Amino acid sequence: MNRRVSILLLAVAGTGVTLVYGADPLPSAESILDRYVQVTGGKPAYEKRKTEIAHGTVDFPALGIKGSMTRYAAQPDKYYYTVDIAAIGKMESGVNGTVAWENSAILGPRIKSGVERAEAIREGNMNATVNWRKLYPKVENAGIEVIDGEECYKVIMTPDEGQPVIGYYQKKSGLQVKLSTVASTQMGDIPVEMIASDYKNFGGILEPAKVTQKAGPQEFTMTLDRVEVNPVIPPERFALPDEVRALVDKAAAK
């Protein structure tokens, strides 16, 4: 899964972390990221995937609310993500290659700009896992930390625009078990932490079936149930909703 820092801020870390000073020389960040590609299916498996539709659920246990989640993605840089929660409504976001947008029951229709747009465009890169060199010009292995009793390499990935993303990769399995960053949102910068677990094979690529995300005071879990591999997705799926299109036209007219 190209883990996306998809903030569902309804406005309102679960793992113990211990720094370990290892005696062995650390592998390079590049080799850790390449190994992650390898252990989750390998570059050819990712490159074979041109489109996908992922289906799952979201659960905000503290609020007692649940919803459905669907994510459409197409090579190279298009995605549409929708979360539907009965108590709130629909929250949609997407990237059509150039425009990053959101249309939610909470924040209404809007176009993302600046760092927030840059982050969304990166998330829109369908095979971000393979394309890390393009997305993060600077990567660094910052050492080893123990997460849930497992030694993990801490890799700091720095993009051209936006805050660094820190990935934690198990020394033993090579799998990414945690991501942390500071996400830029219209409401402000928010520290985000995602715990990935329950890796499963979805059409030739290992993806975490469960991702628990903590953003600010709020925690929710995304569960991936099913991934359609290389389905035909009509281009309209990635078209801007009317409300967002109206904002784009309005901005262009200025």
Residues binding other proteins (CB under 8 A): 9-12, 61-63, 65, 87-89, 104-110, 186-191, 216-218, 243, 246
| Smallest distance, other proteins to C-beta of residue 120, A | 16
Q: How far is CA 150 from CA 3, 79, 175, 196, 252, in A?
A: 21, 33, 11, 14, 52
| Smallest distance, other proteins to C-beta of residue 122, A | 21
How far is residue 66's CA from residue 176's CA, in Å, rounded to a whole number? 26
Comparing CA positions, the residue from 119, 88, 98 lying closest to residue 10 is 88
| Smallest distance, other proteins to C-beta of residue 66, A | 13
Closer to other proteins by Cβ: residue 137 or 191: 191
The two three-digit tokens of residue 89, written as one number: 């409504």
Closer to other proteins by Cβ: residue 19 or 106: 106
| Smallest distance, other proteins to C-beta of residue 17, A | 16
Closer to other proteins by Cβ: residue 14 or 137: 14
Residue 104's Cβ-side half-sphere holds a number of Cα atoms within 13 Å equal to 23
| Smallest distance, other proteins to C-beta of residue 11, A | 4
The 8-class DSSP code of residue 27 comes to P
Q: How far is CA 231 from CA 43, 45, 83, 195, in A?
A: 20, 15, 20, 28
Q: Where are the alpha helices (DSSP H) in the chain?
A: 29-39, 43-48, 114-123, 132-135, 242-253
Closer to other proteins by Cβ: residue 2 or 184: 184
Closer to other proteins by Cβ: residue 16 or 61: 61
| Smallest distance, other proteins to C-beta of residue 51, A | 30
The answer to whether the peptide bond before residue 76 is cis (omega within 30 degrees of 0) is yes
Closer to other proteins by Cβ: residue 29 or 190: 190
